Structure 1
Amino acid sequence: MIRSHIIVLDLGFGDAGKGATVDWLCSPEAGFGVSAVVRFNGGAQAAHNVIADGRHHTFAQFGSGTFCGIPTLLSRHMLVEPIALASESLRLAALGVPDPLSLLRIDGRALLTTPIHIAANRAREDARGSSRHGSCGRGIGETASYALEYDAPTVSDCLRPNVLYAKLQALAAHYGPPIAPSAHRYEPIRDLVEMYREFAAAVRIVDGGELARLARRGRLIFEGAQGVLLDEWRGFHPHTTWSTVEPRNARALLAEIDTPAYTLGVTRTYLTRHGAGPFPTEDHTITIPEPHNTTGPYQGAFRRGHLDSILLRYAIEASGGIDGLAVTHLDAPGTGYAATGYATPTGVVDRLEPGPWQDLDHQRQLTELLTTSNPILTPIPADPIPWLERRLDTPIVLTADGPDRRDRTPIRTAAAVA
């Protein structure tokens, strides 16, 4: 079907089916000859549900090709949380994956997310009260923001205990007495250093040349986390993630090995959102079951709404364009409607313009527009595929009418999408 490397990208607010799409691409049934799954953004807050061969797992840091025995490369753009990674490894082993940690390669330049970051993240979000941003409470924002100003701990530091100890001490001191260690009781920093030494001995920490080595063995699948509408620079502030979700980082990694890629966008037949933030087509009467998506203690409720072709087109443009679409949840009853415009106090809006990269004022203006507009809903035909292709001017190459791997169907020939 697709002969180049593949970037898998969620075009919504997350939960569109990236993990299940990656699992299928890695499977023997698909026949793509995948050598590795490369994670290019996010961290332990990811939740990619895969159901295959009677097994279900919610992938966080491991790539969603793990059930197929495909190695994962956590790139330098990942935020790595070793404690959660160890826990996920145990769950995968219980599901029959032999020695899951042996499938991991981790770029030593990747930032470490520590219990200190997590505690600070939750304290900050709790302090916002009813004005929460919608954090997952996994320390992602604190990890990224601290590294902008200070010498932050990285995965390679786990191989240098003295360096790691000094960085963790500085990190704890930065966040103040509620989080900093007390020398009069015990010193958890030393416990962390020892734990991270064991982590470094159990995984393969690699340099920047690993991507090229894996690419020489076969096709790479770049698995994104979250959704473009939550992107740190393209999402709707302040309800965004501290992560570049659009494929800028994946394309930069591919440029290092001078290799092109096919970008596959993923969308549902209806729209969802976890937690706070603008959601023009939200409809509380929609009760489509979501067995793997529930209310999170920090994220808040799982929300449902009608398909929004305005936001989908915006996500495609903000991503620099895509080559094909995967449409999931065709088995769900759907809502029968999609937004094709917004009614605003100044008239009808049928397109959102991506602003200059890193222009937060523009993103805040979009947030205001989405918060104060009403969707113009249009009935969707019984077969939504041709309608979506015309509306988004993008070929649909894969569909899913159920949660299992076997529910995925390619609908384009190799020549059409190569």
Structure 2
Amino acid sequence: MNEHVAVVDLGYGDAGKGTVVDALCDRGRIRAVLRFNGGAQAAHNVVTEDGRQHTFAQFGSGTLRGVPTHLTRFVVVDPLALAAEAAALGNPYELLTVDGDALLATPWHRAANQRRERARGGSRHGSCGMGVGETMAYALGHPHAPRVADTLSRTGLRRRLAAVESDLGPAGVPLDDVVDAYLAFGRTVAIVGTPYGERLLTEGACVFEGAQGVLLDEWRGWHPHTTWSTTTFDNVAELCGSFTRLGVVRTYTTRHGAGPFVTEDPALNLPEGHNATGEWQGAFRVGHFDAVAHRYAVEVAGGVDALAVTHLDIPDSCPELRICESYAVDGEPWTRIEPGPARDLGHQEALTARLNRAEPRTLSRPADWPEAIEGLLSAPVEIESYGPSSADKKFRNRIH
């Protein structure tokens, strides 16, 4: 590879971004994996050919290949969760750099997030319970919200963490214990300025690894069942002038927790090895390939140059699996979900209400899944994935 590639999920997350990033790192000489949104709530599963397995959260999915990770300023960094992940990986801190301007998630953000979601009862929006959204929301109203660079100074760090504790309420942990843990993070991790990330891009091909999916985007997803994160290519475009846009989809659509899911079909026999019902995310839901929603994702993401299609081994074992090419909404056929004005959450909420009434209208079983998906999403398939490891991938050499 000699060009930068950005990997974005065109669904609700869980399409296989981790395994795609791992395969890209195995295939070419990659300078670094850059994370450009989300935080410790990510769960990107990687299985190598020799049987090693890890679910990546903050470290990039090229870590098992020895590829460095850079957490950009768009990532919400959780030092406590990162320390646990590092320990599981053998503490490869030499492979990690973090932009000092990235926001810090704290136990108080996490506790506030969980209290808020619990209070919604049966009307939960959906959450990973990690406090990422709470961290983003807090920063909007507090210009001095704690950031990674604050972990380099005890006085400044303690002052900012104390303010978070005062504003958000208890989390059951002593303030000074958190201060000590975050100072240890600051001593251990290489904290850098934004120019460092810019330099990485001049030193070789990089892979930008996204979190969650476009249909959960903070502005373009089905509000309010969304994430506090920009899941499209927009953040990458702020970091990098030229890159290949790679969209990832499964051969079937999945969703964690609450929110519209037009093609959901619990009767499908689709066992899941890495996802399950969780206390905060809710049930792991499966359904037919939703070409209508994925087309919308391509459009609001600004288009894709190529596709990676994962779980291509599944259709043979699930003969009932279909592709949904259109909806019926209030008696009207929909083949396209028309995007609304930028950053119009009122429009997105109204769209959510309509999608909750939608039903699959046209379902078909293709003879050739990659060819059918290419046609429906108007983009070429570059990577075909028939299993969890890099050896299970087929490249068509459109990414150089």
Q: What TM-score range do you get, normalising by the shorter chain?
A: over 0.9
Would you say the 8 A contact 1:380–1:387 is kept in 2? no
Would you say the 8 A contact 2:113–2:131 is kept in 1? yes
SS at match of 1:326: strand
Report the Cα offset of residue 346 of structure 1: 4.4
2:43 counterpart residue number: 47
Where do 1:252-271 residues align within 5 Å? 252-254=238-240, 259-271=241-253
TM superposition score normalised by structure 1: 0.92
Would you say the 8 A contact 2:216–2:225 is kept in 1? yes
Q: Does 1:384 align with 2:369?
A: yes
SS at match of 2:157: helix
CA distance in 1: counterparts of 2:258 and 2:362, whole angstroms: 22
1:137 counterpart residue number: 129
CA distance in 1: counterparts of 2:362 and 2:85, whole angstroms: 41
Out of 168, 172, 180, the position equivalent to 1:194 is: 180
Q: Does 1:362 align with 2:347?
A: yes
TM superposition score normalised by structure 2: 0.96
CA distance in 1: counterparts of 2:72 and 2:348, whole angstroms: 27
SS at match of 1:280: coil
SS at match of 1:9: strand
Where do 1:230-309 residues align within 5 Å? 230-254=216-240, 259-309=241-291
1:115 counterpart residue number: 107
2:89 counterpart residue number: 92
Would you say the 8 A contact 2:198–2:239 is kept in 1? no
Describe the superposition over 1:337-367 as per-residue Cα deviations: whole angstroms up to 9, x where unpaired.
1111111224111101112221101111211
Out of 343, 356, 364, the position equivalent to 1:371 is: 356
Letter of the 2:344 counterpart: D
1:96 counterpart residue number: none
Would you say the 8 A contact 1:336–1:381 is kept in 2? no
Deviates more, 1:286-295 or 1:110-119: 286-295
CA distance in 2: counterparts of 1:377 and 1:286, whole angstroms: 17
CA distance in 2: counterparts of 1:167 and 1:336, whole angstroms: 52
Report the Cα offset of residue 387 of structure 1: 1.4
CA distance in 2: counterparts of 1:397 and 1:202, whole angstroms: 38
Report the Cα offset of residue 385 of structure 1: 1.5
Would you say the 8 A contact 1:337–1:377 is kept in 2? no
1:325 counterpart residue number: 307
2:3 counterpart residue number: 4
2:95 counterpart residue number: 103
CA distance in 2: counterparts of 1:312 and 1:250, whole angstroms: 20
Letter of the 1:381 counterpart: P
Report the Cα offset of residue 163 of structure 1: 1.0
Q: Does 1:74 align with 2:67?
A: no
CA distance in 1: counterparts of 2:235 and 2:198, whole angstroms: 16
Report the Cα offset of residue 212 of structure 1: 2.3
> What RMSD, in angstroms, separates the aligned Cα atoms of the two structures?
1.3
Letter of the 2:159 counterpart: A
Structure 1 residues without counterparts, runs of 5 or longer: 94-98, 182-186
CA distance in 1: counterparts of 2:37 and 2:389, whole angstroms: 25
Out of 152, 158, 180, the position equivalent to 1:159 is: 152
CA distance in 1: counterparts of 2:83 and 2:159, whole angstroms: 24
Report the Cα offset of residue 382 of structure 1: 2.3
Q: How many percent identity over aligned positions?
A: 51
